[in-house]
Structures are given as structure tokens and as C-alpha cells.
Amino acid sequence: MDLSGSVRQTPRTPPQLRTPEKLPGPRPDSNFADLHTSLTAYLKPEDLQHIESAFRVAQAAHEGQFRKSGEPYITHPVAVAKTLAQLHLDPQAIMAALLHDTVEDTTTTAQEITRIFGKSVGDLVDGVSKLDRIEFESQAHAQAENFRKMLLAMARDVRVILIKLADRLHNMRTLSSMAREKQKRIARETLEIYAPIANRLGLNEIYHELQELGFRYMYPTRYRVLAKAVKAARGNRREVVDRILKTISQRLEQFKVRATVTGREKHLYSIYRKMLEKHLSFTEVLDIYGFRIIVDDVASCYIALGALHTLYKPIPGKFKDYIAIPKANGYQTLQSTLMGPFGTPLEMQIRTHDMHKVAEAGVASHWLYKASDASLNDVQQKTHQWLQSLLEIQTASTDSTEFLEHIKVDLFPDAVYVFTPRGDIKSLPKGATVIDFAYAVHTDIGNRCTAARINTEPAPLRTELRNGDRVEIITAPEATPQPSWLAFVATGKARSHIRHYLRTMHFDESVALGERLLNQALRALKVDIKDIRRADWERMLRAGGGKSKRDVLADIGLGTRLSYVVARHLLTASDTAPRDEKLKGAIVIRGSEGMAVQFAQCCRPIPGDPIIGLINKDQGLLIHTHDCRAIRQYRSDPDRWVDVEWDPETDKLFDVTIRLLVHNRRGVLAKVAATIGDADSNIDHVSMDDKDGSPYTTINFTVQVRDRAHLAKVMRDLRELPDVVRIARLKV
């Protein structure tokens, strides 16, 4: 699908497609000559004839169509095919790339494509083409449905997503002709979906270019300022980089390692994300250059690493061995960050030539190098496993929007690697818990798990896993998934299967519970449930995207919808229900609402704090403090916000974290703990900074308090201890 727009005239009629050999040849403005040159390097003459036939059909179908930039429309599918030719994809994929917009944008049909060029090409074109015109509830829902179809087609044939990524890449390269709002929407979609998919499939060059272009159009001012700063710094640092390259090459020669050494500038989006995540200015980002060492074999990788460590000191905690444990997309490299000259951190990547091929082309290396070695087979196997997991998530998801949310979770690049009792490695996203691991092993194990052992020690199901953990799951025949698990699972597979089980096995119970909660909410607004008519429900369902009354009630019972919010929407939709000023009032938070109301871990609000509510699917209503930094990104989405206030009679204890700087003396921890207990507070968790030989140490306590007044008393009593130097409430 071409997102850059076109000015269309009525295309030629389909009968001309029956004899592609009689259609006119390539015009000079189509760029087909460049594509033909690329294809000649690896395809047979008979393959080229089929591809030229596909081109003639596409050229005829798009006759009279132009892009917003003024170029003939045919230049777009040719550019898409050329990107795939650089990956040496097979003739069927190249033909599908040339024809991928004909079904959607012209009178050509999928049946004609299949009849002329075969089922394989027809299936690929159909997989890439967007959905037929269907009435959707919203633009977001339509877009999610498009992604759903695309990803499921990809699960059947990975070439579908390779064509789609090449299509998106050319659209991003030519996005300047679009309106600003459309640029932002397409750029956001690229950063959130397409770039992560490219990364997940190991398409490194496409991944980075999509990120750079997405950044450029999403935040044009930030992009220009950062590009200017990097350009200004480039001249100052070139001499340093050249000197480091020469020094590295000399050291590797001393260790008799034959290697190709290159220096590379980090991508702007990578620098921007580092500045954003670590709150740094550009001048504080020192490691904007990295170095790549490509050697002949695996043994040379480790010898080269040792040589570099004798040259520059490694920074602790900044070494990753992706050769012994490859990433899920097949990426293999030794990565080490060293402290270079002038205190500049240097990022080193050491890999073999074969590893470099996989790192650059990922799953496409199968076509690009026609390789049959174990490393490339491993890439294909891991990709196949991930694609199959998409089908599992699809089965458990109820709608396309939910499916897309689950997929987004699994596209995050950061991962932890944990071991099964048999020594098999499971790759999970950062933040994954025991439950996620159980579902990664098998759905039945996830559904039946009751406890776990991590490194032979008993551990709660919500325990977050770390690299190298050995996890054993304990199951029971009568065990079932619990709604509370949704609050801490991290993978799309686990979340979708839990929700699917809760829906199918406990649907009636959820409906009954949801009805009781809704009745309670309506009574609080002085409205009888009998006053709500069927027409009111229908109006609310049309406005809010619900499928049926029972589905809405089940969602309330499961905690994915708030009874208070549904009650207000019903009364807003009602013509007969009394108008009450309470409709405009805030939702009262008591702290005992269960799964429907969650307290944000980033700011840990307690009674007395000014608070605001954020509607968050799967978590119900998420309560934040007004000044929480985590909510800034949602300020532009007012529909998700709900006014909330504390119930003055709350009797629940709330977690809050305090940080103390204390004298590093014997018994200080016991004194602090006793003081907290004397203040009628309970300690839920405690951690201390590593000892560094200084006379002071930092202790973090998670304590339970009733409200801000109670917290103030705890902190006041602690401040009176002679050993306490400083105390503060901690917010992430």
C-alpha cells in the first residue's frame, strides 16, 4: 500500500492483463532498468522474463496514476522490488512487489494475478494488500485490523512482511510530500510497529533507516538540531576516531588476529533515545561512535576481545556475549564497552563474516546468501517459532486491537535469557516474570502453574526473571489462571492466553460480578438500574466500541472496564435518567476496589496526594500523582483521563518508598527498622547500596502507611535518629 498518495485516472481495463507480453515495454521514467541490473546479478534469464511480464502488467494497471511528488506511480512498486533485489529475494517475491498495489488501487483482481503468475505470487499480493472496504468502529480499529491481517499472512509466508517493510521504507523515503499530520501518523506507526518488526527479523539496515526516518518526521525540529550538533562534533572527533582505529588495528596484529576494523557513527535516533532515557544533554553523550571488528572465525572473536581489553579497560557490566547466547533474531556478536582515550566510552562489536551477514540481513540471509550452515538455519528456526506464536496469540485474542497490543509487547528488543531445568534457553522480554516463562514453555503449563523454583530456591509467580536464571515450574491439575496475573505478566502470549481463559471459563461469573458492580455504581449516583433502557445500552455500545451488554458486564467483572465509568456513560447516553451533578464529580478511591483500580508503581500515590486516574486496558484505572513524570506522554489523550479523589475514610495501607542516607555504623539498620515499627508502619521491602568504603550508606525502605499524615510521622521520627543524615520520599 502506498502511503505517499497519488492522483489517479481510470486505469486500463483488466482484459489487457491476459497478454502481458503484448503490453508496452518499460518507459525511461519507471527506473526499471536499475532494477533489471540488480536482478541480473543473481537470477536466471527465464526468471527475468517472468519479472518483466509482471512489470508490464503493473505499468499498465497504474497507467495515468501519479504520486504526490509528481512521479509516475509505477516508480513506487519498482523501488520496493529493488530493495528486495538487494536482499536477493526469489522471483515470486519480486513479482509480488511489482504487483502489490494493483489489487488495491486498480481494477485488477487477485484472481487475475493468480491466473497469470501463479498461486504463490497471488497469495503474496493478497497478503500485502490491505483489507477490503469494511465499516470499522474507528480508524484505530481499521489500522489494527490491517496489521492483524499482515502479521497473520507473515506467519504463513515471511516474504509478505519483507515486501511490506520494503514498501514502508520507500514510503518513508518519500514522505516529504505529505501533509504534516499524515507525516506524524505514519512516522509514529513506523516507530511503533514496522521498525521493531524489522529488528525482530534481524533486518538491521532496514531497521535503522526506518528509525531514522520515523524520528525525522515525528520530531522534525529535534532531528534537525541533533543532526546539526552531530555534524559540528564530527570534525572535532574524526582525528580521535582515526587514531583509535589505527591503534586497534596495530594491537590486533600483535595478537595475530586478521580483522577488518571500521568506525561507525551512531544513529541519530539511538543518540536521541539515550539522551531521553538518561536525561542527558548532547555534550554528555560521549559514545556517539562505535567500532566493528570482523574476523575469520569464532576463536578469533574471543582472541580479539582479549586484545582489546589489554588496550582499553572494559567498563563493568557493559559486556554481552551474543555468540554463546544469540538474540532471538539470530544476531551474534561480542559487545563490550571500553574506556577509551580522553575518558571517551567506546562500543566494540566483534563478529565473524558469517555473523555479519546475518546481523545485516537477518531472516533474509536465507535468500541473500543461499546458505545452509547451522547459524542461518537457526535464524530460520527462531523466526518460525516466533511466527507460530503469532498464530497462538491470534487464537486467544478477541479483536484486532487487543492482538496488536499483545504483538507490540513482544516486539521490544530488550530480552533476558533464562534456562529450563533441562538446560534449554528461553528468550523473554525484559521485565518478564515466572508466569511469562511458564507460558513460553507451554500453554498448559502456564494455565496450571502454582509455584516456581528459581535457581533451586522457591519464588513467587510475580518474580521478575534475570539473565541466567534457571526456572522450574510447579503445576497442579486443579490450578487455573488468576485475574491478578494480568497485573504483572510481560509477554503478549501470556496475557492473551490468560484473558482467553478467563473469558471462556469464567464468562458467566464475570458477567454476574460485573452486573453487581454496575448496580452498585448506579446506586451511588442515585439511579435505579431499571431506569436504564435498552436504547441507552445500544447508544453507549455504539459510542464506546462494546460488542454487547454481556461483554461489557464481563469486562467490568474482569477489571478491564470500570463500573463507575460505564455507569456515567450509560447516564450520558440516557434521555430519561436524572441529570445529577455527581455525574460531573470525581470517582472516589477507597483503595479496596481490587483489580479494577491499580496504584502506579512509578509514583506510589497515598491518601493526601493530589491524584489523577488513567484508563489503562488490562489494568482498569491506574492512579498516579499529579506530578508523576510517567503520565506526561498521555497528556494529549484526554479521553483516557478520569477525575478521582480519595475517600476520607480509607482504611487500607499503601506502599511508599523512602530513601535514607545514614552513617555506616553497626546496628543502624536495626534502629531504623525499630523506629518504623514504633510509628505503626510495616516494612514491605528494604535494600541497601553496595558498600564503597565511605562513612555513609543509602537504604531504601518500602513501608506501608495509611496516608500522608502517617508518612510524615514516620519520616519525622526517623529524622530524629542521630544516625540519619538525610531522608526523602522516593518517586521513580
Active site residues: 104-105
In our burial notation (b when 16+ CB lie closer than 10 A, e otherwise), range 360-395 reads: bbbbbbbbbeebeeebbeebeebbeebbebbebbbe
Phi, psi (rounded to 5 degrees) for 23? -75, 155
Question: Which residues does residue 72 pair with via DSSP β-bridges, in sequence order?
Answer: 66
Alpha-carbon distance values, 139 to 301, 398, 436, 514, 553 (Å): 50, 18, 31, 29, 25
Contacts with 512 (C-beta within 8 Å, 6 or more apart), sequence order: 557
Q: 345 near 319, Cβ under 8 Å?
A: no
The helix (H) or strand (E) run that includes residue 240 is helix 220-254
CB 578 within 8 A of CB 527: yes
CA–CA distance, 164 with 162 (Å, rounded to integer): 5
Q: Sign of dihedral through CA atoms 6, 9, 10, 14?
A: negative
Give the whole-angstrom CA distance, residue 524 versus residue 567: 10
Task: Please answer whether residues 705 and 681 qualify as being in contact, where contact means their C-beta atoms are separated by less than 8 angstroms.
Answer: yes
Strand order across the beta sheet in which 597-599 lies? 597-599, 620-625, 611-616, 641-642
Q: What is the rounded CA–CA span in Å between residue 664 and residue 724?
A: 10
What is the β-pairing status of strands 457-459 and 449-454? antiparallel
Nearest residue to 435 (alpha-carbon basis) of 390, 375, 480: 480
Cα distances from 361 to residues 159, 324, 660, in angstroms, run 13, 20, 50
Distance of CA 463 to the CA centre of its chain: 21
Q: What are phi and psi of 483, to 5 degrees?
A: -55, -30
C-alpha distances (whole Å) from 76 to each of 5, 69, 270, 325, 567 are 11, 11, 29, 40, 50
Q: Residues near 522 by Cβ (< 8 Å), separated by ≥ 6?
A: 528, 529, 532, 567, 570, 571
Residues 683 and 703: beta-carbon distance below 8 Å? yes
SS3 of residue 59 by DSSP: helix
Sign of the CA dihedral 265, 270, 276, 279? negative
Signed CA dihedral, 545, 551, 552, 554: sign only = negative
- To the nearest 10 degrees (0 to 180), the angle between helices 139-156 and 119-128 is 150
Distance separating alpha carbons of residues 669 and 657, to the nearest angstrom:
16
Write a three-state SS string for 174-207.
CHHHCCHHHHHHHHHHHHHHHHHHHHHCCCHHHH
Alpha-helical regions (H) of 545-693: 549-558, 563-573, 668-678
Cα 107 from chain centre? 37
Amino acid at 714: V
